[in-house]
């Protein structure tokens, strides 16, 4: 990887979540989640992207979610922001790809993190694990490994891709075990 000072690699991963049915979602909670998850990613990508343009090289990796690709009940604001992060990533890839900068996203299933443990009770966890072929949540280090790959020179020709880190979740339909 080139090293020229400033920002060579950006990983935009900040996110918050609150659960509620879409018709009952508090508009203030909706705004806050969009501000943090989508607008925050936009600002980080814009700032880092400008610095990368000056060098003619960079890697932008955003953290989306499988929730940005499907509609899961009770997570409307989160899902909308993660869908937006995926589109932001593709736009960055399209606009910066000829300038030595790649933009890709990772989209995990729930990851065993403190945030997920706060919003996923035993019922949520059982529902997810029943539909993930690997029958478990992702580990933080598995997501980190995918990010590390996308930041590497080995991924230099991968651009505009959303890499699902999902134990087969997006490949499956209803699992009859």
Query: C-alpha distances in angstroms, 175 versus 62, 107, 111, 129, 144?
Result: 29, 21, 20, 10, 27
Tell me if residue 157 is catalytic.
no
State how beta strands 101-108 and 58-63 pair.
parallel
CA distance 127 to 138: 15
Q: What is the DSSP string of 58-90?
A: EEEEEE--GGGTS--TTBHHHHHHHHHHHHHHH
The answer to whether 156 and 102 have CB atoms below 8 angstroms apart is yes
Query: C-alpha distances in angstroms, 64 versus 16, 107, 175?
Result: 12, 5, 24
Locate tokens 């979540």: which residue?
17
- Among the listed residues 8, 75, 78, 150, the single catalytic one is 78
The answer to whether 109 and 169 have CB atoms below 8 angstroms apart is yes
Catalytic residue numbers read: 78
């Amino acid at each position: 990887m080139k090293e020229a000072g400033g920002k060579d690699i950006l990983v935009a991963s900040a996110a918050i979540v609150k659960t509620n049915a879409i018709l009952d979602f508090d508009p203030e909670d909706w705004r806050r989640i969009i501000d943090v998850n989508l607008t925050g990613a936009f600002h980080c990508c814009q700032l880092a992207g400008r610095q990368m343009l000056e060098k003619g090289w960079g890697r932008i990796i955003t953290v989306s979610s499988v929730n940005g690709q499907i509609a899961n009940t009770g997570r409307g604001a989160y899902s909308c922001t993660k869908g937006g992060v995926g589109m932001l990533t593709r736009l960055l890839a399209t606009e910066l790809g000829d300038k030595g900068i790649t933009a890709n996203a990772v989209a995990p299933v729930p990851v065993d993190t403190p945030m997920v443990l706060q919003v996923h009770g035993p019922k949520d966890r059982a529902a997810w694990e029943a539909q993930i072929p690997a029958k478990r949540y992702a580990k933080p280090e598995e997501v980190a490994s995918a990010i590390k790959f996308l930041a590497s020179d080995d991924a230099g020709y991968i651009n505009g891709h959303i890499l699902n880190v999902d134990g087969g979740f997006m490949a499956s339909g209803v699992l009859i075990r």
